[in-house]
């Protein structure tokens, strides 16, 4: 049987060329056998069951069914009709009569369920070894932990057994296993993917997450599955934008050097430093941020309210079946019995105080870049010290859902010992597309093969076209450019970067005098003009109106002619505003002028 790549673009190209679903299903089972890892799946669909799913798809149609014939795995705390849900505890098992909402949406888009994957019991852990079933083997190095709690989902994806897999993420369970297995782990904004039909860990923080071989695949699955769901009271409307080109300059918050934690792992530290150098080469402006309050927020997760929430999720079962639970899981969740309602409220109050302190810090940059994990641990090391090792793995993950951040773990290279190096990009809720756009560039720049498959990365898919979607193009010239002081005004209005462009050669650019924030003025002159570099951003009509209303004189909005012959609304300056202004047209744009002035 010839090799079939399972990244979605390659798989759909194979289908279009005549590959049958039967051949793909056979390949799934061949790869399961080749992986020789009984710890990956708790329940596996028979070939006849997968064929029955495939027969319902109809002819190959990737337009109406964007995941047509794409095999995927589901963490075994997420319901799939016809398959037991165990949460890695056989005594807890039940037979759901319907799919979890997210599974139903993916199946409706044509995806095929391969089976249910292993996990840290009741999704309590970041190591992947807290299971009564065989421990899944790390796909890169079997001596290392696979990461958890979504261990089986990550390993199945890394081996190319499936194109993608669902996990869950409360404290990092959708990011740590991705980072340790050289794959992508997308942890969406809380509530973007329905948690209806998911065994809860902490209902107020739980996310369904996506593991994939590429950023494009992870974001495609996320885009298909995301929707508000009345069956999930924590579901919410999140505008899911197409994965587009990112702004050319982004401010990226990174932990201050004194606050970084690698627990003696010099290779991980060197790998992270190399990743930051890569970000700089990609045009990002790194901003060191004190991280003490982020760590203090993370510490809340296993205190008070959220331990009690884990206990509340399974209290009835635990009281009747405590001996059936994994001893480490039992110890952690059982600790809630010593807590009071007052302890829970103290935790909530502490979190609110940290949010108030950190909200302006988070808003001060476009996004953050942290190590996905501070180190790699062997299975033996974790079994010898299960609590401390697990806690350390959550150093850069535990605070994320508490602070309502979205995130994506992405392979960034190899450490000097050959083990995977992964970073996680984090941003405010709703900015999933921004983190994914930068993650895509990081993965491409790394040059890594996909997971443990040896497959080379496919080319980056073209950016989504700017079709007539009701959005208005806005040409920005100066302080609203990406990375400039007023760009945040656009982000707050939900603006989306479209492209870098140049005006026609009919304009002059001036540095205006008397501005509290340095700004340029663009004016059309006809003869004697030059082309000026600009950026085009897109806003909905309401946001565009609010933005225009707030523009102070002498600036205003007019029609700007671009070099490619198109035209869009953008910033122009009144002639009266040029008093004492300096003509800087020779620099070709505001960014070049600012850089030259600072040097």
Q: Is 75 a catalytic residue?
A: yes
Catalytic residue among 149, 194, 422, 504: 149
The full DSSP string for 444-485 is HHHTPPSTTT-PPPPPPPPPPP--SSSEEEEEE-STTSTTST
* Distance, CA of 404 to CA of 154 (rounded, Å): 23
* Distance, CA of 302 to CA of 390 (rounded, Å): 12
Residue 421 in this model has a pLDDT that exceeds 60: yes
Q: Which two tokens stand for residue 188?
A: 């969406």
- More confident call, 374 vs 467: 374
Residue 41 in this model has a pLDDT that exceeds 70: yes
Q: Please tell me the predicted confidence (pLDDT) of residue 465.
A: 45
Give the pLDDT band (50/70/90) at residue 459: confident
Per-chain mean pLDDT for the chain:
95
Angle between helix axes 304-321 and 327-334 (nearest 10 degrees) is: 120
Cβ-proximal residues to 460 (8 Å cutoff; 6+ apart), any chain: 216, 440, 444
Q: Is 163 a catalytic residue?
A: no
Q: Is 173 a catalytic residue?
A: yes
- In this predicted model, what pLDDT tens digit does every residue of 1-18 receive, in sequence order? 578 999 999 999 999 999
Q: Please tell me the predicted confidence (pLDDT) of residue 516.
A: 87
Residue 30: in which H helix or E strand, if any?
Answer: helix 21-35
- In this predicted model, what pLDDT tens digit does every residue of 585-595 receive, in sequence order? 999 999 999 99
Share in percent of the chain as helix, strand, coil (round to 5) = 35, 20, 45
Percent of the chain past pLDDT 70, that is, above it, reads: 98
| Chain CA centroid to CA 515, Å | 38
Catalytic residue among 150, 173, 422, 482: 173
Q: Which two tokens stand for residue 322?
A: 């405590």
Q: Please tell me the predicted confidence (pLDDT) of residue 460.
A: 61
Q: Are 572 and 477 in contact (CB under 8 A)?
A: no
In the numeric block, the tokens 């996680």 are attached to 424
Give the pLDDT band (50/70/90) at residue 462: low
Residue 322 in this model has a pLDDT that exceeds 50: yes
Domains of the chain with bracketed CATH: 8-298+345-446 (3.90.1300.10), 471-598 (3.10.490.10)
Catalytic residue among 65, 75, 187, 519: 75
Q: Are 503 and 478 in contact (CB under 8 A)?
A: no
Backbone angles phi, psi at 524, to 5 degrees: -85, 130
Judged by average pLDDT, the poorest of 12-21, 195-204, 235-244, 390-399 is 235-244
* Distance, CA of 407 to CA of 424 (rounded, Å): 7
Predicted model pTM: 0.90
Percent of the chain past pLDDT 90, that is, above it, reads: 91
Residue 293: in which H helix or E strand, if any?
Answer: helix 292-299
Q: Please tell me the predicted confidence (pLDDT) of residue 466.
A: 45
64 CB-contact burial (10 Å; exposed 0-12 / middle 13-18 / buried 19+):
exposed
């Amino acid at each position: 049987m010839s090799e079939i790549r399972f990244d979605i673009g390659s798989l759909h190209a194979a289908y279009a060329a005549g590959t049958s679903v039967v051949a793909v299903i056979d390949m799934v089972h061949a790869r399961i056998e080749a992986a020789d890892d009984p710890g990956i799946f708790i329940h596996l669909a028979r070939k006849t069951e997968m064929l029955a799913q495939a027969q319902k798809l109809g002819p190959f149609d990737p337009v109406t069914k964007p995941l047509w014939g794409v095999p995927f795995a589901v963490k075994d705390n997420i319901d799939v009709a016809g398959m037991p849900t165990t949460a890695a505890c056989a005594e807890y098992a039940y037979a759901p009569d319907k799919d979890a909402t997210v599974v139903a949406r993916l199946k409706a888009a044509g995806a095929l369920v391969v089976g249910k994957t292993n996990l840290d019991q009741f999704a309590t852990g970041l190591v992947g070894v807290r299971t009564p079933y065989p421990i899944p083997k790390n796909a890169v190095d079997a001596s290392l932990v696979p990461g958890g709690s979504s261990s089986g989902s990550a390993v199945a994806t890394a081996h190319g057994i499936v194109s993608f897999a669902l996990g869950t993420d409360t404290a990092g369970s959708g990011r740590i296993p991705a980072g340790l297995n050289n794959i992508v782990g997308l942890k969406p904004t809380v509530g973007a993917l329905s948690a209806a039909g998911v065994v809860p860990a902490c209902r107020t923080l739980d996310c369904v997450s996506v593991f994939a071989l590429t950023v494009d695949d992870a974001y495609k699955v996320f885009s298909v599955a995301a929707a508000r769901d009345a069956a999930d009271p924590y579901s919410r409307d999140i505008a899911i934008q197409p994965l587009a080109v990112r702004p050319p300059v982004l401010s990226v918050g990174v932990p201050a050097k004194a606050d970084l934690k690698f627990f003696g792992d010099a290779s991980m530290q060197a790998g992270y430093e190399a990743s930051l150098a890569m970000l700089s080469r990609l045009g990002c402006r790194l901003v060191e941020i004190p991280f003490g309050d982020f760590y203090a927020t993370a510490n809340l997760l296993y205190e008070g309210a959220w331990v009690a929430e884990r206990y509340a999720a399974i209290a009835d079962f635990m009281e009747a079946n405590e001996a059936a639970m994994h001893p480490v899981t039992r110890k952690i969740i059982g600790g809630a019995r010593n807590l009071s309602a007052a302890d829970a409220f103290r935790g909530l109050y502490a979190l609110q105080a940290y949010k108030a302190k950190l909200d302006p810090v988070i808003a001060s940059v476009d996004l953050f870049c942290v190590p996905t994990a501070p180190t790699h641990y062997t299975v033996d090391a974790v079994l010898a010290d299960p609590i401390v090792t697990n806690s350390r793995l959550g150093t850069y993950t535990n605070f994320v859902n508490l602070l309502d951040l979205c995130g994506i773990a992405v392979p960034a290279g190899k450490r000097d010992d050959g083990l995977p190096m992964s970073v996680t990009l984090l941003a405010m809720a709703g900015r999933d597309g921004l983190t994914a756009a930068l993650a895509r560039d990081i993965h491409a720049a790394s040059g890594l093969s996909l997971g443990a498959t040896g497959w080379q990365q496919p080319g980056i898919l073209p950016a989504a076209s700017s079709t007539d979607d009701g959005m208005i193009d806005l040409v920005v010239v100066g302080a609203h450019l990406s990375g400039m002081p007023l760009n945040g005004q656009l982000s707050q209005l939900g603006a989306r970067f479209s492209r870098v462009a140049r005006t026609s050669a009919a304009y002059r650019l001036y540095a205006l005098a008397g501005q509290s924030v340095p700004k340029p003025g663009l004016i059309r002159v006809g003869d004697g003009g030059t082309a000026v570099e600009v950026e085009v951003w897109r806003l909905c009509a309401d946001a565009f109106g609010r933005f225009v209303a707030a523009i102070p004189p002498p600036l205003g909005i007019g029609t700007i002619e671009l070099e490619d012959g198109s035209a869009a609304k953008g910033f122009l300056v009144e002639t009266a505003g040029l008093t004492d202004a300096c003509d800087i047209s020779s620099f070709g744009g505001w960014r070049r002028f600012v850089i030259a002035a600072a040097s």
